[in-house]
Structure 1
Amino acid sequence: MDLLALSGLWDLKGLLLFLLVFLLIADYLKNRKPPSYPPGPAGLPFVGNIFEISPKEPHLQVAKLAKDYGNIFSLRRGRDLVVFVSGFKLVKEALVTQGENFADRPCTNIARKIYPENSGLFFSNGHTWKKQRRFALSTLRNFGLGKKTLELAICEESRCLLEELERQKGDAFDPTNLFSKAVGNIICQMVFGRRFDYSDHTYQQHLDSLADAVHLLGSIWAQFYDAFPTIMKHLPGRHNDLFRHYETVGAFIRENIEKHKKEHNPDNPKDYIDAFITEMENSSHDSTDGFYEFNLIRNTFDLFVAGTETSSTTLLWGLVLMMKHPDVQEKVQAEIDAVIGQSRPPMMSDRLDMPYTDAVIHEVQRVGNIVPLNDPRVAMKDTTLGGYFIPKGTTLMASLTSVLFDESEWETPDSFNPGHFLDAEGKFRKPEAFWPFSAGKRVCPGESLAKMELFLFFVSLFQKFRFSAPEGMELSLEGIVGGTRTPYPFKIHTHPR
């Protein structure tokens, strides 16, 4: 190799070395922590701390980091700053005391891809979010939320579910699909104006897509897409399944919207879609109000998820915990027999006379820990939290696990103990740190629906059946974590009472 070629090679290496050093310095300067910023582990260049938290049990990894760095610490995911908050008092300060400042969602790359133009109920912000949240709540109330009609609909769906369980004739089976169909039918009646038969294959496919989409939203694939969208959009992987699920279910929703348009009567709306179509035809709305068809599709998707995934998953945790604690199952059934008996279905008015059962359902929600890390928020302005400076635009993750298992708030936080919700006289009480639905401005809009569903479905199940696991099956309380925390697959035996 002649000297000229050797010199050119060294020039190229020098240029590459210079570019690498320049990029490292630029990355450091761009991402260095401001004064009084929460502490945290040092991150790698360019990717930050994206490998710091295990996708398998992220809430437990957050708890470990909180022990090392305190109840408020920071990480960097790619280019994004993220602050994690733990413990009931600090989480309350963020979500309630400073709730107005942490009301918005961060505009992540996943959100831009799936919910463009500030669409949907989960990821929208500002005026659009407030307008659409108010409209959804008022409309669902008009179609039964919190009313006797909805209670009767849940009781009827419970009857259908019990009939399906009877058809199993005591054989071991996985209850996941049946529970999703039953619970999903309640929100379907309010949104689509109809329920679906349990044998409907299309309905099952869309429920499967919803469940997988929720899982993927909390997966490492979503984190990588958020951090490196330019690269990830060209690569194969499960993030592409997430986008496909939204398109598939969106097409199903669009078909239902077209049917509603053909039969639409603005003087006689039958469900959420009917009411939304009426609003779309209202010329007085500003474009930022969000009354356009794509937003209807995304809103319906969000309502479908909120009305299906969390309640059905909580009921699954209820089965797991009752089978692991047969003595609790027996006490629940004794109270059901004493208050309701075996002949009539339960009603919401029974709950006041059933403090132990009510306590068990709440403890299932606490231990089930369905949304362990809560949904992300973003600081809308510079603020101070827990004595640390939080710059505007910083993503905030408030750990609900740390609230539901806070040692200073719960007598035996790591044990399944219905006594957490009973006073000395055996009457039901709800501790302040019971936050399975989050808190503040973004508290789950379906909380009242979920409470009704959980009580009526749970009591109906244990009124008619005793449940046990197949011999030799070890039931796990660890769970699979994605957008929600679900039990590992399991099977049950149903024994008619």
Structure 2
Amino acid sequence: MYCFGDFTFFLAIIVIGLFCFMGLSLLWRRRKLPPGPTPLPLLGNILQLSGGDMVTSLVKIREKYGDVFTVYLGSRPVVVVCGYNAVKEIYVDRVYDFIARGDTSTFDTTYHNYGVAYTSDVDRWKELRRFSQSTLRDFGVGKRSLEDCIVEESQCLVTELKTTKGSFVHPKQYFSKVAGNIIFSIMFGHRHEYDDAELLDVLNTISETFHIICSGWGHMLEMFPRIMQFIPGKHQEILNNMQKLIKYVKKRVEKNKETMDSNNPRDYLDAFLIKMEKDKNNPKTEYNFENLVCCTLQIFFAGVETISSTLTYALLIFLKYPDVLGKVCEEINCIIGQDRSPKMQDKNQMPFTDAVIHEMQRFIDLIPMGVARKTTRDVEFRGYFLPKDINIYPMLTTVLKDPACFLYPNEFNPKNFLDEKGEFKKNIGFMPLAAGKRNCMGEALSRMEIFLLVVTILQNFVLKAELSEGKLNLSPDVSGLGNLPKPYKIAFIPR
């Protein structure tokens, strides 16, 4: 009995000592970092960040600590940077100090530092980005040929929406199909029919995965990746679904290998495989199977989810603001009419529509926390010492809602992009998909898709909400890595 009591006392002393040591270690590491809420040993700032909406929690912390502060995701320190001026310094003014990709546990467990989007290896990123941008241009990105592809696919969407016969439907599934076919044409060389089982399975997997990543389950996985891998919950679907998508890409790679002509590449996969063959004797090449699979998945995952979520949110905003919808439809009728498909050159004559689409992207705030960066060396930033390899969160939401940039930062108002004469005006704070050298590779493609698809939908359909305007809720369903809209139903009534 006494031996057991002595052992219990000894164990308690060890545990208390361990927590004291970790507490002192935290204080030592924090001494030169920006200020922030006091973290708990091992648990970090879970008390401040566990409400299920990490974005709102970080914005609230900013109110106390300013534009640059530190939070702990578990035991991992993250420096959060807010406001246009500070974020621009990260993205543009001092780009090479902060150009490395930061830790994103929800994806790192799948990609293992391979691919173009989530690698922290700057040299790898430079080489794969150069290749990917060049290859995407070769297959139409930024060219007239891709515009024609989007216009053609938009007409397929019109045909598909007409099959709903004016009934109320969830729109996300249709926008995933059109976005999927556009990016799949570039990556894999062909489109799918909208009822293709394989296409639907891949699109549903992407949508489901991103929704969980942006939810509280994703937040917990990000804060405690090692522990959460062994705890049951919805976050396990992230890991399982990502492996399912990896297997899908590998299957597509093998399929391309069987029919590839080295002198006539058909798509991104062919171009990468040809480059792999040319570099097969180079032990330091970045053109290997792991990078091929991860680059492909990263590009088409972003290409599908960015467009489908933006369009889904955009139509909800139109339903909430029918006066804005009416003015856009008037401009479409005046400039394009009903007898031809829209073209990108039409946008220059449609200032209100252009302003509305920009304002929608700003208001939607699709990637509110940006994507994590890392310092590439020890740096001084705004009076604070940031050690090499510390994670940085450039909070895009605080740029898109910066009152120094936008007259109406917290409400939906197209005047944020209109001058006194009603003409479209650019805004320096508009960076919905980041900025600088490591911004989204597909930004030009997304701008083209959003304009052409929105205009085509409004040209062909009257939008009808299932709920009254007052019951439509524009606040996000989940808010983390992404802001995603609450589910709703809409009817597409042919004009």
TM-score by length of 1: 0.95
345-354 vs 419-428, which moves further = 419-428
Q: 1:227 to 1:166 in 2, by over 3 A?
A: closer
- Partner of 1:455, secondary structure, is helix
CA contact (8 A) 1:127 1:288 kept: no
The counterpart of 1:478, out of the listed 472, 475, 480, is: 475
- Partner of 1:344, secondary structure, is coil
**1:140 & 1:260 partners in 2: Cα distance?**
17
- 1:160, CA displacement in angstroms? 0.7
- Equivalent position of 1:394 in the other structure: 390
Task: Kindly provide the amino acid, as one letter, of the partner of residue 97 in structure 1.
Answer: D
Is residue 121 of structure 1 aligned with residue 116 of structure 2? yes
- 1:355, CA displacement in angstroms? 0.9
CA contact (8 A) 2:279 2:285 kept: no
Give the 5 Å matches for 1:238-317: 238-283=234-279, 286-317=282-313
CA contact (8 A) 1:216 1:482 kept: no
34-43 vs 59-68, which moves further = 34-43
Gaps of 5+ in 1: none
Is residue 149 of structure 1 aligned with residue 145 of structure 2? yes
- 1:224, CA displacement in angstroms? 3.6
- 1:123, CA displacement in angstroms? 1.1
**2:467 & 2:208 partners in 1: Cα distance?**
29
**Cα deviation 1:270-327 (Å, max 9, x = unaligned):** 0000001101111367444421122211111111112111111111111011111111
The counterpart of 1:16, out of the listed 5, 8, 11, is: 11
CA contact (8 A) 1:128 1:289 kept: no
Tell me the C-alpha RMSD between the 2 structures: 1.7
CA contact (8 A) 1:311 1:450 kept: yes
- Tell me the percent identity: 37
- Equivalent position of 1:326 in the other structure: 322
Q: 1:284 to 1:55 in 2, by over 3 A?
A: farther
328-337 vs 417-426, which moves further = 417-426
Give the 5 Å matches for 1:9-408: 9-32=4-27, 33-54=29-50, 56-107=52-103, 109-116=105-112, 118-124=113-119, 125-283=121-279, 286-408=282-404
Q: 1:285 to 1:180 in 2, by over 3 A?
A: farther
- Partner of 2:72, secondary structure, is strand
**Cα deviation 1:245-279 (Å, max 9, x = unaligned):** 11211222122111110111110000000001101
Give the 5 Å matches for 1:408-487: 408-472=404-468, 474-479=471-476, 480-487=478-485
Task: Kindly provide the amino acid, as one letter, of the partner of residue 485 in structure 1.
Answer: N
CA contact (8 A) 2:38 2:45 kept: yes
- 1:179, CA displacement in angstroms? 0.5
**Cα deviation 1:383-439 (Å, max 9, x = unaligned):** 222222222222111111100011121101112111111112222111000010101
Q: 1:139 to 1:423 in 2, by over 3 A?
A: same
**2:55 & 2:226 partners in 1: Cα distance?**
28
**2:108 & 2:21 partners in 1: Cα distance?**
26
**2:288 & 2:61 partners in 1: Cα distance?**
44
Q: 1:230 to 1:426 in 2, by over 3 A?
A: closer
Q: 1:171 to 1:131 in 2, by over 3 A?
A: same
Q: 1:230 to 1:302 in 2, by over 3 A?
A: closer
Is residue 490 of structure 1 aligned with residue 485 of structure 2? no
98-107 vs 67-76, which moves further = 98-107
Task: Kindly provide the amino acid, as one letter, of the partner of residue 352 in structure 2.
Answer: Y
CA contact (8 A) 2:211 2:484 kept: no
TM-score by length of 2: 0.95
- 1:10, CA displacement in angstroms? 2.8
CA contact (8 A) 2:71 2:78 kept: yes
- 1:101, CA displacement in angstroms? 1.1
**2:222 & 2:172 partners in 1: Cα distance?**
30
- 1:156, CA displacement in angstroms? 0.7
- Partner of 2:100, secondary structure, is coil
Q: 1:286 to 1:219 in 2, by over 3 A?
A: farther
**1:78 & 1:339 partners in 2: Cα distance?**
54
**1:283 & 1:162 partners in 2: Cα distance?**
44
Q: 1:472 to 1:321 in 2, by over 3 A?
A: closer
**2:467 & 2:239 partners in 1: Cα distance?**
40
- How many residues in Structure 1 have an aligned counterpart in Structure 2? 491
**2:428 & 2:127 partners in 1: Cα distance?**
29
CA contact (8 A) 2:53 2:480 kept: no
CA contact (8 A) 1:215 1:483 kept: no
Q: 1:393 to 1:214 in 2, by over 3 A?
A: same
Task: Kindly provide the amino acid, as one letter, of the partner of residue 414 in structure 1.
Answer: N
102-111 vs 299-308, which moves further = 102-111
- 1:173, CA displacement in angstroms? 0.9
CA contact (8 A) 2:279 2:287 kept: no
345-354 vs 71-80, which moves further = 71-80
- 1:83, CA displacement in angstroms? 1.1
CA contact (8 A) 1:100 1:441 kept: no
Gaps of 5+ in 2: none
- Partner of 1:90, secondary structure, is helix
Q: 1:72 to 1:343 in 2, by over 3 A?
A: same
Q: 1:110 to 1:345 in 2, by over 3 A?
A: closer
Q: 1:112 to 1:331 in 2, by over 3 A?
A: closer
Task: Kindly provide the amino acid, as one letter, of the partner of residue 294 in structure 2.
Answer: R
- 1:451, CA displacement in angstroms? 0.6
- 1:107, CA displacement in angstroms? 4.2
Task: Kindly provide the amino acid, as one letter, of the partner of residue 190 in structure 1.
Answer: I
**2:95 & 2:332 partners in 1: Cα distance?**
40
**2:210 & 2:270 partners in 1: Cα distance?**
26
